[in-house]
Chains A and B, each alone.
Chain A
Amino acid sequence: MKTILAVDDSATMREMVTFVLESAGYRVIEAEDGAQGLDRATATNVDLVITDQNMPNMDGLTLVRSLRELRDYKSVPILLLTTESSDSMKSQGRAAGATGWLVKPFDPATLLEVVQKVLR
């Protein structure tokens, strides 16, 4: 069973992402900001990280950069799931090492398709 780390400061959002992923058979670990996400990712190796951008303590892009510095996370897919939709933010995400950028509100079927694709 693949393990996915879902990072978002909104409990509702985490719950939605977790439900969709668990209903498709994935194991989900949650974190409520980038700093906690980094702790969780270093404590348990995960197969995919899905993170929000705007969060207290550590934002999504900083989390991506921090994870990419870790040997275990050089090639683990990382998706940004955020309300930010500007091209400049997406470029920053790409430069930081993100695998993809999804704009909220997400469509569950689309999220699952993307997850399956990046986990292949």
Chain B
Amino acid sequence: MKQDAMGSTDARDAAQAADLLVTVAATLNERLAVTADELARSQTLLREASDELMTAFRGAADRIVAAQRQDEEAQAEKNEEYGLVLDHLYRAVQHLQSHDLVNQLIDAQKLRVDKMREKLAQALSLAAPPVTHPDQAEPWIERSRAMLDCIVAGIQQIDQDAHGPLGDKHRQGSVDLF
């Protein structure tokens, strides 16, 4: 009799732990959905801003290259003026590249979030079917373990699959000639 009561308490604790895991996984999945949405919005805003900047840059760049070609024999004074304008445009080139790199970084984050959401959904699906012997602790423990295994596999996979740029800031702009 005492042993039955113990078994039933263990089963109740194990069922509560499994329920808690489901709640945590579901909540995390909801938060990740919000993150995915915000990343997509950030990317759209970045794209719109970059398109405008690129249009302005393109106009200035085309003009200076055309003017340079037209005045190949121009006097030194004019060449000096072109040089000054080019310096400004070169500075813009360096910073406009950030758009591309940040875009790639956001893509990598989106991939990470999507993969984690996929694994969380998979873990949640493991909790859907009813437990065969709900009065025993073991089936609940097995279910929790399977869900945790799925989540841990997801965490390991996202680091293998999603690589973003800008990994080493000190190497940006570096040159190696072989």
Q: Which residues of A line the B interface, CB within 8 A?
A: 10, 12-13, 15-16, 19-20, 22-23, 83, 85-86, 90, 93-94, 98-110, 114, 117-118
Contacts and interface: CB of A to CB of B under 8 A. Distances in A.
Contacts of B175: 100-103, 110, 114
A13 B89 contact: no
Given A83-B165, A85-B174, A105 B97 contact: yes
A12 B99 contact: yes
B56 interface: no
A70 to B, nearest CB: 19
Interface residues of B, number: 32
Nearest 10 pairs of A and B residues by beta carbon:
A83-B165, A105-B97, A85-B171, A108-B90, A100-B177, A101-B176, A19-B61, A94-B178, A103-B174, A16-B93
Given A83-B104, A106-B94, A108-B94, A100 B165 contact: no
A49 B96 CA distance: 22
A104 B101 contact: yes
A105 B178 contact: no
Main secondary structure of the interface of B (DSSP, over half): helix
Given A22-B65, A23-B68, A23-B86, A16 B96 contact: yes
B125 interface: no
A91 to B, nearest CB: 10
12 contacts: A13-B100, A19-B61, A19-B93, A99-B178, A102-B173, A104-B101, A104-B172, A105-B94, A106-B97, A107-B94, A108-B93, A114-B177
